[in-house]
Amino acid sequence: MKFLLDFLPLALFFGTFKLAEGHKAAAALFATEHFGFMVSGGQVGPEEAPVLLATLVVIAATLLQALITKLRGKKIDLMLWISLSLVVVLGGLTVWFHNETFIKWKPTGVYWAMALTFWGSQALFGKSLIKATLGAEMPLPEAVWRRLNWAWVGFFFLMGLLNIWVAYNFSTSTWASFKAFGTVGLMFVFVLAQGFYMSRHLPEEEAEKS
> Is-contact 12 28, C-beta < 8 A?
no
| First-to-last C-alpha distance (Å) of the chain | 23
- pLDDT exceeds cutoff 80 at 5: no
> Is-contact 51 100, C-beta < 8 A?
yes
Q: How many residues comprise the chain?
A: 210
CA–CA dist 65, 153 (Å, integer): 25
> Is-contact 100 167, C-beta < 8 A?
no
> What pLDDT, in 10s, does the model give residues 15-46?
999 999 999 999 999 999 999 999 999 999 99
SS3 1: coil
Please state the rounded mean pLDDT for residues 183-200. Answer: 90
Cα three-residue angle 97-36-91, rounded to 5 degrees: 40
Give residue 135's pLDDT band: very low, low, confident or very high (50, 70, 90). Answer: low
Reading phi first (left if > 0) and then psi (alpha if -120 to 50, else beta), residue 154 is in alpha
Q: Which residues contact 54 (CB under 8 A, 6 or more apart)?
A: 13, 14, 16, 17, 20, 176
Give residue 208's pLDDT band: very low, low, confident or very high (50, 70, 90). Answer: very low
> Is-contact 206 138, C-beta < 8 A?
yes
